[in-house]
A and B are shown apart, each in its own frame.
Chain A
Amino acid sequence: DQQVKQNSPSLSVQEGRISILNCDYTNSMFDYFLWYKKYPAEGPTFLISISSIKDKNEDGRFTVFLNKSAKHLSLHIVPSQPGDSAVYFCAASPSFYNQGGKLIFGQGTELSVKP
């Protein structure tokens, strides 16, 4: 039972263009969502998060959008850079105050940004 789904295993984008990574969830109890970036042979690193009281959070080139009614969130990277090439994981938590550890991860989307 995959509660957090990233249906696109891979995405290829040209440098300078927008990258859009999508994530769907099924559990309406989730109220905190995070995106992590992972390079090969390294652990995931935190990228950006959003709580369910918001529908958008922006940090530099990264913006996360949350559509609660559709149980869908997306990560936008603009402009995309070759260094953004990595696997991106979407994660959800049932509580903002219990976000640590009790995260449900998606399968990841491998982003490739071509020069």
Chain B
Amino acid sequence: GAVVSQHPSRVICKSGTSVKIECRSLDFQATTMFWYRQFPKQSLMLMATSNEGSKATYEQGVEKDKFLINHASLTLSTLTVTSAHPEDSSFYICSARDYAANEKLFFGSGTQLSVL
């Protein structure tokens, strides 16, 4: 089946630094990728839709200047958490839609971000 690779799986950083998370579709092209955030014991919340070659679409309440999304190729989307603060500590997960597989969504394994 389709594979979505997300890297890094875990990152610990100091407050004020920026962190980049990569999401790659390994065996299919993904014009659309999605970024979710999950707090412990809560649901996955869609943050933004990443569109190849164009600007990302952010959900209400998500700061686009805080969470920079770049989708420069058909297989790679990146999420950069800028000037991270402890409240940004969360589990971030990406997904990609495989149009050849009946448009199913495939998820990456997630990134646990801890901001000290």
A contacts, CB < 8 Å to B? 2, 4, 9, 36, 41-46, 89, 99-108
Contacts and interface: CB of A to CB of B under 8 A. Distances in A.
B71 to A, nearest CB: 13
Contacts of B49: 101-102
10 contacts: A2-B43, A43-B106, A44-B93, A45-B107, A89-B43, A99-B103, A101-B32, A101-B95, A105-B43, A105-B44
Interface string B97-116: 10000011111111000000
B40 to A, nearest CB: 10
Contacts of A2: 43
Given A41-B110, A42-B110, A43-B6, A101 B105 contact: yes
A36 B9 CA distance: 20
A30 B63 CA distance: 26
B93 A46 contact: no
Interface string B67-98: 00000000000000000000000000101010
A100 B32 contact: yes
A44 B44 contact: yes
Closest 5 A/B residue pairs (Cβ): A43-B107, A100-B97, A101-B34, A105-B43, A105-B44
A60 B97 CA distance: 24
Contacts of A107: 41-43
Contacts of A100: 32, 34, 97, 103-105
A89 B109 CA distance: 15
Contact of B110 (A43, A46, A106): A43
Kindly name the residue among A2, A100, A102 whose own CB sees the greatest number of chain B CB atoms within 10 A: A100
